[in-house]
Structure 1
Amino acid sequence: MADSNTTALDEATSSDALLLSNLLELYIHDLSDVFPGIEPGADGRFGYDKLPLYWSERERRFAFIIRCAGRIAGFVLATRGSPAAEDPDVLDIAEFFVLRRYRRSGVGRRAAVLLWQRLPGKWTVRVSEGNAGALAFWRGVVSEFTNGAATDTTRPGHPSPWRVFSFESAPEHVTR
């Protein structure tokens, strides 16, 4: 079992682009179970067109590698600006992925907290209600991080509505 206390959130650089691209394939493959319209291209890859923007728009896009005991455990892509908020400065978790080996071990929970501490401000977390596992994860980790102070709204979406959690993190925010 992974030890969440050894979880680190390392800032990704352009030299990590291939690593992130490979992890994104696993992530998008997982999402294809929730979103039936996701199909691989003719080359067998799903692709992620926005990945190069994380190197060219560093003031608005933030890429991180999740590590557990020094091993790759997943990634986080965050943006300034969210499709679920009018405020252009709100922070948004665009993509969040933990390798199956590290799920349900506290690694994802710890990575989320590390992210919110590293980038303090107003946050949105969007999750499809059709993604039951992710919805339970985010509901729990956001509630724990905010001591139940987050707002929880629903937005229309296809094939399922979206749940949007909104809250603010501060640099001095400490969790157990």
Structure 2
Amino acid sequence: MERRMEDGRMDAQETADAIVVRGAGEADRAVLQRLWQLFRHDLAAYQGGFPPGPGGLYGTERLDAAFGNPDRALFLFLSGPSPVGFALVRVLDGGGAEDGSGSGPASGAVLSAFFVVRGLRRGGVGMRAVREVLAAHPGRWEIPFQEANTGAARFWRRVAEGAAPGAWTEEPRGVPVRLGVPPDRWIAFRAGSGGLVGSGIRT
């Protein structure tokens, strides 16, 4: 039975259940670049307040470098026809951690960027999307986040506990390219093809 609000909109659980996560490619570049602007704007508050460039836009070099790169995977999140988020994954093959320290796992994946539009947060959309992303790359994962971003910190620790109950680690790692910025927090765990162990966590 459908659960609808009085104005006909789907409630939070229906919205989360209806989210589609699919691989993204060159045809999605323009959409992802626009979502990237929202993502970077959100992060600016926790990464030293970096302003956009002279043209009023944040750089998309890291995103653009992922297209056609076999060591990167892009995912687009859709609610009906509307794009509502994305994920950028770095696939590790022995080259070390995302932060360039060389201390990362011999193989696995790093969730380099993850974004859900604000209007759909805290309703289960993020958890549904990350479950699909983790399931696409079973194995060891590393995910960085900023402790000052308290909502993200809670979310990622819940993701880790859902994926590997009691068997995940967390450590601080400095950010060499952002002097004066507090170290990022990095969590690590192993996820199976099911992504998360059936959690009722909603975010």
TM-score above 0.5: yes
* Aligned residue runs from structure 1 range 89-100, under 5 A: 89-100=107-118
- The match for 1:75 among 70, 80, 86 is 86
What corresponds to 1:128 in structure 2?
Answer: 146
Alignment of 1:90-169 (within 5 A): 90-157=108-175, 158-169=180-191
SS at match of 1:26: helix
Contact persistence 1:79–1:93 (CA under 8 A): yes
Instruction: Give the deviation of 1:9 after TM superposition.
Output: 1.0
Q: Percent identity?
A: 28
TM-score normalised per structure 2: 0.79
Give TM-score scaled by structure 1 length: 0.90
Structure (1 or 2) with the larger CA radius of gyration: 2
Distance 1:160 1:174 in 2: 29
Say if 2:192 is the partner of 1:170: yes
Return the offset for 1:149: 1.7
Tell me which residue corresponds to 2:32: 20
Aligned residues: 175
Q: Which amino acid aligns with 2:184?
A: W
CA contact (8 A) 1:120 1:171 kept: yes
Q: Which amino acid aligns with 2:130?
A: A
Paired with 1:73 and 1:168, the residues of 2 have a C-alpha distance of: 27
Mapped partners of 1:86, 1:33: distance in 2: 27
Contact 2:131-2:194 at 8 Å conserved across structures? no
Query: Runs of 4+ in structure 1 displaced over 4 angstroms?
Result: none
Provide the residue aligned with 1:9 in structure 2: 21
Give the superposed CA RMSD: 1.8
Amino acid at match of 1:105: G
